[in-house]
Amino acid sequence: MKTTLRSVLLAAICFAMASYTLADEPKRPECIAPASPGGGFDLTCKLAQSALLDGKHLSSPMRVTYMPGGIGAVAYNSVVAQRSSDPGTITAFSTGSLLNLAQGKFGRYDETAVKWLAAVGTSYGAIAVRSDSEFKTLGDLVAALKEDPSKVVIGSGGTVGSQDWMQTALVARAAGIDARSLRYVAMEGGGELATALLGGHIQVASSDIADAMPHVESGDMRILAILADERLEGDIVEDIPTAKEQGFDVSWPVVRGFYMGPDVSDEDFAWWKNSFDELLASDDFATLRAQRELFPFAMTGDELDAYVKQQVAQYKVLAAEFGLVQ
């Protein structure tokens, strides 16, 4: 009798613990990609979608929704003003988001308006062309820009002052070219940028390797230069030269991660943070990250919050150097 009672009590405790764990899981998990489908934000959300499901942190796939507009501004303002306490919504961000915040492009909300959840990897800036382009090296492109910048149409997933524009501006500055002379076309995210390049509407794409590599692997694009301090490891990227080794001292890491609304409870935020802490320490996540051409970069919670504020401060200085802010 005692054994039977003990077994019943043990089963009840286990059931209660399981119920508690399930109760902690967000009921309607959602990842907002603040751009059109197909770009880096989409990739970031789908990385988390796969990792959280495979790691059994979520019992069903997280929904990915798209909220283009203002290169992240629409999503940022929506989360802060309308979904501030939503326990199930995470929103993708990148280094470009922080650069826009530094320039006040997200309206009245600054970098202190949200809870910075997790950074899950980093990519690097890339200058890409179609595979049949006349430009074979970054030096070829720079020479053409010096001769007549109006004849080279450069596109990016953002307006003047955006991350992709800044990459091009830094390369131009390193080459002694006035960035304001460049013929520049803005797109809404990496998906539109790739479509424009492959369709022949632009000649050069200022992108990053995570966005560009699928098209490189298919044979549709070539990367003239990766904006990293040294060559990256990988089957294809190891053969792509950096801008630095071609004589242009430019490096631009593209950190990718997530934030949540400012009024999300500590308990709900902790569930997400703990889940990402576990994922970021796992070999399975490292494999998923590498499959998406992302490289290790892991921060969560307070550490990420401090990093974001430090980066925004640095980008304010950089933006001022290019006359983007007063």
- Asked whether the beta carbons of 205 and 34 are under 8 A apart, the reply is no
Q: Is the pLDDT of residue 262 over 50?
A: yes
pLDDT of residue 13: 42
Per-residue DSSP letter, 182:
S
- Asked whether the beta carbons of 181 and 113 are under 8 A apart, the reply is no
- pTM reported for the whole predicted model: 0.82
- Which amino acid would we find at residue 43? L
Indicate where the chain has its CATH 3.40.190.150 domain(s). Answer: 28-123+254-321
- Asked whether the beta carbons of 260 and 114 are under 8 A apart, the reply is yes
Report H helices in 72-208: 73-82, 95-102, 138-147, 163-174, 190-198
Indicate where the chain has its CATH 3.40.190.10 domain(s). Answer: 124-251
Rounded mean pLDDT, 144-151:
95
Q: What percent of the chain has pLDDT over 90?
A: 80
Q: Is the pLDDT of residue 21 over 50?
A: no
Query: Which of 2-16, 83-97, 122-136 is least confident?
Result: 2-16
What six digits make up the tokens of 83? 């979904």
Query: Which of 23-27, 61-65, 164-168, 232-236 is least confident?
Result: 23-27
Number of Cβ within 10 Å of residue 189's Cβ equals: 25
Antiparallel, parallel or unpaired: β 63-66 and 115-130: unpaired
* Domain formed by 28-123+254-321, architecture: 3-Layer(aba) Sandwich (3.40)
- Which amino acid would we find at residue 247? G
Antiparallel, parallel or unpaired: β 89-94 and 204-208: unpaired
What six digits make up the tokens of 326? 């007063």
What six digits make up the tokens of 77? 């303002």
| pLDDT tens, position by position, 91-118 | 999 999 999 999 999 999 999 999 999 9
Q: Is the pLDDT of residue 282 over 70?
A: yes
- Asked whether the beta carbons of 226 and 241 are under 8 A apart, the reply is yes
What six digits make up the tokens of 196? 């424009």
> CB burial class (10 A; 0-12, 13-18, 19+) of residue 30?
middle
pLDDT of residue 183: 94
pLDDT of residue 157: 78
CATH 3.40.50.150 fits 124-251, yes or no: no
What six digits make up the tokens of 180? 């304001």
Q: Is the pLDDT of residue 4 over 60?
A: no
Q: Is the pLDDT of residue 72 over 60?
A: yes
pLDDT confidence band for 55 (50 / 70 / 90): very high
pLDDT of residue 7: 53
What six digits make up the tokens of 122? 């980093």
What six digits make up the tokens of 184? 């520049």
Q: Is the pLDDT of residue 18 over 50?
A: no
Instruction: Write out the H or E segment, with its range, that includes residue 307.
Output: helix 301-321
How big is the chain by its Cα radius of gyration, in Å?
A: 22
Number of Cβ within 10 Å of residue 140's Cβ equals: 14
Sheet strands (E) in the chain:
30-33, 63-66, 89-94, 115-130, 153-156, 183-186, 204-208, 221-227, 253-260, 299-300
